[in-house]
Amino acid sequence: MLKHVSFLTRDLPATLAFYTHLGGVIEKNLTTAEGHRRAVVRLGGGLLQFFQIKGETPAPHSHWAEHIALHVPDLRGLLPVLRASGVVVTRDLQPSPSGRDMAFVEDPDGRQVELLQADG
C-alpha cells in the first residue's frame, strides 16, 4: 500500500497553491528541526509530500515519462483557470488512449502533471 510520494520543490507556497487548485487539501505545512520547509497534501486517497530544502534548488523534471497522473472532475473548466494563473500547458486537451479527455501541465517546479477527466 502506498503511503505517500515525496518531491523536492523550489517554491513551496507556489507548489501548494498549484495542488490545491487541483483539489488537494494541505494536511501539514511546517518547518523541520533542520530548518527545511515540509508540506503534505492529501489528493484523493493519496498523499504528496514536498520539501523545500534550505539552501538547495532542485533541477526541473520536464520529461513526460516522469509525471503525476490525477483524475479531476471538470478538466475542460479547470484548464482555463490554470492557464489564467500562469500554469504552463505542455500537452493541450486531447483524448487519452482510453478515450477520456486529458492534458499535461507543469507544476511550479516543471514536474509534468497528467490531468484526466474523472468518471461521472
Q: What is the CA radius of gyration of the chain?
A: 14
Mean pLDDT score across all residues of the chain: 90
Domains of the chain, first to last: 5-117 (3.10.180.10)
Provide the 3-class DSSP secondary structure of residue 76.
helix
pLDDT for res 42: 96
Q: Kindly report the CA angle at 25 between 114 and 63, in degrees rounded to 5?
A: 25
Q: 28, 4 in Cβ contact below 8 A?
A: no
How many whole angstroms from its chain centre is CA 63? 15
For residue range 67-105, list pLDDT tens digits in order. Answer: 898 999 999 999 999 999 999 999 999 998 889 999 999
Q: Which of 119, 83, 115 is nearest to 102 (CA)?
A: 115
The share of the chain scoring above pLDDT 90, in percent, equals 69
- In this prediction the pTM is 0.84
Task: Categorize the per-residue pLDDT at 2 as very low, low, confident or very high, splitting at 50, 70 and 90.
Answer: low
